[in-house]
A and B are shown apart, each in its own frame.
Chain A
Amino acid sequence: MTAIFKKDLRSYFTTPVGYIYMAIFFAVNGGLFSLNTLLEGSDSQVSVYFTTLIFALVILIPLLTMKTFSEEKKLKTEQLLMTSPVSLGGMVMGKFLAAYTVFAGSFLLSCFNFTTLFRFGPKNLSGTGSAYNGAILLGSVIAVLLIGAAYVAIGVFVSSLTENQMAAAIGTIGMILLFLVISLLNSYIPFAPVRQVLSWLSIYSRFSNFTYGVFDFSATLYYCSICFVFLFLAVRVYEKRRWA
């Protein structure tokens, strides 16, 4: 597993993929951050920044995950991986962790942005400290990291289905969007139990608690489950291929 992890992580930086991802990520992230918090006229609400970031990641994360398995399949290098003494689970995990490391690393780097808020942002009512609550920020950062893990897992799974990177990217965007905004359908559905299930499934509707400063344990569990389920499915895809 470590060998595959190291190889994949390295390949993000020996090919343009990692740099392109990071360039776009920092540009979009910086733009969203300054639009929503720093610029005059913005409402200084960090929650809006986080929400928009989650939507931006729908487009960004497939850039990282689209090649994970598709490329191996196309170059037939998966034959090397599958005939080496590494379990399928280890193979999927190595690839997931490599993509996740790039995502989490660049996101955590971008968190330096917050220092500007505390340094230059509005003061709280008593005027003794920043108007921003560090705990809320931390909660939201953790939530984004969890949601990112779910996205990456979805991307890894979709990539295991096809050898076409473009198809993998588009499929991933579609699948993430489905999970993200499925609850938006609610206003059109008159049937309450269905509405409940849809909002239960939605990644987005579970995020709001974090922005209020509540650490939502069930949401955490939910994001981890999505992550686990899709990685498991990716393993199954490979298992099936071996037996088919």
Chain B
Amino acid sequence: MIKIENLTKRYGASYALNGISFEVNKGEIVGFLGPNGAGKSTTMNILTGYLSFTDGKVEIDGLDVLDFPDEAKKKIGYLPEQPPLYLDMTVTEYLNFVYDLKGCTLNRKKHIAEILEVVKLTDVKGRLIGNLSKGYRQRVGIGQALVGNPEVIVLDEPTVGLDPRQIVEIRNLIRTLGLDHTVILSTHILSEVQAVCDRVIIINKGRITADRRTEELAAAVEGNRRMSVKICGPAKEVLPAVRALPGVLSVESLGNLDMDSTSYVIESDSGIDIRKPLFQLLSRNNWPLIGAETAGTNLEDVFLALTDRPLEPKSRKRRGKTPENG
């Protein structure tokens, strides 16, 4: 459906995008993941025809965007980072304007009523957009992207600035859209990708650092398990004893919490559950275990690892110091 080959965007001497290539198949929900300034929005702006590019090739459904810009644009609905809303229009007026702008040929009344239904705006359709809350405005923005029933929907950070309930609603909406559209969305929130997308493309500093299916990514980091524990006992003795347990790869002390307890991060082989042997070891030595938490590996780790590794070889150590990742 979408084919990007060796796409490069240069601003003077700096590269916003440096030769990225990927394909998106029909019906996929693809998440674009990356820190701020990674090139997510640039890619989306190029895809939708807002920006031009320095080098490479972009095809939408077999149409080159440079050769057939209008036809390609008709196949895409786009919600930019800031929804492009006219605050002095009502929701219906706005959707009607977009309908005219895109030169739609569908039945106007029916189509707009359908969109209002899908994005749950029927109740506020007569209100001025300027008077709507942020969550509603975001939905108007998504509604706008749906006008003309385009095959591809591109959403740039669709949940930014929304409250938790609205985020869940928008995610559900995106999943519904994914049933009969190809959806590309960008985000810097990992749980969002896990919740919504079939596939993740991680992009950093203008390059693609990973392109996997969501479950593969999660599996890729199941390599090691991590656990953070609080143990009362002399650190000098506890450390070597825990290290000696079968399956333990590394133990790191995070220092004293209070008078007699210490926090540790234990990393162990994925195949072995060390919780029972650990408990037995501690009880044998009468070192009370006063807290334990499995720091489950998730996309956050993959993300940090993949986006930082080329720059910072010690990324593993950094992971160890951020046990809140769980």
Q: For A82, what are the chain B residues with a Cβ–Cβ distance below 8 Å?
A: 49-50
Q: Is A23 an interface residue (CB 8 A)?
A: no
Contact residues of A between 67 and 96, Cβ < 8 Å to B:
75-87
A3 touches B51 (CB 8 A): no
Partner pick for A79 among B50, B52, B88, CB 8 A cutoff = B50
Q: Is A7 an interface residue (CB 8 A)?
A: yes
A75 touches B85 (CB 8 A): yes
B100 touches A83 (CB 8 A): no
Secondary structure of the A contact surface, majority rule? helix
Contact mask A2-21 → B, CB, 8 Å, 1/0?
11101100010011000000
Q: Could you tell me how many residues of chain A have their Cβ less than 8 Å away from some Cβ of chain B?
A: 24
Q: Contacts A14-B88, A75-B86, A85-B70 given: A3-B100 contact, CB under 8 Å? A: yes
Partner pick for A84 among B11, B52, B102, CB 8 A cutoff = B102
Contact residues of A between 205 and 244, Cβ < 8 Å to B:
242-244
Please measure, in the bound complex, the distance between the C-alpha atom of A123 and the C-alpha atom of B235, giving whole angstroms: 114
Q: For B73, what are the chain A residues with a Cβ–Cβ distance below 8 Å?
A: 83-85
Partner pick for A76 among B82, B88, B100, B144, CB 8 A cutoff = B82
- Which residue of chain B has the shortest Cβ distance to A6 in the bound complex? B100
Partner pick for B102 among A6, A85, A243, CB 8 A cutoff = A85
B76 to chain A, nearest CB (A): 7
Q: Is B98 an interface residue (CB 8 A)?
A: yes
- Which residue of chain A has the shortest Cβ distance to B72 in the bound complex? A85
Please measure, in the bound complex, the distance between the C-alpha atom of A75 and the C-alpha atom of B97, giving whole angstroms: 16
Q: For B45, what are the chain A residues with a Cβ–Cβ distance below 8 Å?
A: 79
Q: Contacts A4-B101, A6-B100 given: A85-B74 contact, CB under 8 Å? A: yes
Please measure, in the bound complex, the distance between the C-alpha atom of A15 and the C-alpha atom of B52, giving whole angstroms: 34
A77 touches B85 (CB 8 A): yes
- Which residue of chain A has the shortest Cβ distance to B86 in the bound complex? A77
Of the candidates B48, B70, B86, B102, the one having the most CB atoms from chain A within 10 angstroms of its own CB is: B86
Q: For B11, what are the chain A residues with a Cβ–Cβ distance below 8 Å?
A: 244
Please measure, in the bound complex, the distance between the C-alpha atom of A3 and the C-alpha atom of B102, giving whole angstroms: 9
- Which residue of chain B has the shortest Cβ distance to A80 in the bound complex? B84
A86 touches B101 (CB 8 A): yes
B74 touches A80 (CB 8 A): no
Please measure, in the bound complex, the distance between the C-alpha atom of A77 and the C-alpha atom of B49, giving whole angstroms: 14
A14 to chain B, nearest CB (A): 5
Q: Can you list 12 A-B contacts (CB < 8 A)?
A: A7-B86, A14-B89, A15-B88, A75-B84, A75-B85, A78-B84, A80-B80, A80-B98, A84-B73, A85-B70, A85-B71, A85-B74
Question: Which B residues have a C-beta under 8 Å from some C-beta of A?
Answer: 11, 45, 48-52, 69-71, 73-74, 76, 78, 80, 82, 84-89, 97-98, 100-103, 144
Question: Which A residues have a C-beta under 8 Å from some C-beta of B?
Answer: 2-4, 6-7, 11, 14-15, 75-87, 242-244
Other than the given A77-B85, A85-B73, A242-B51, 5 more pairs (CB < 8 A) read A4-B101, A6-B100, A75-B87, A76-B84, A242-B52
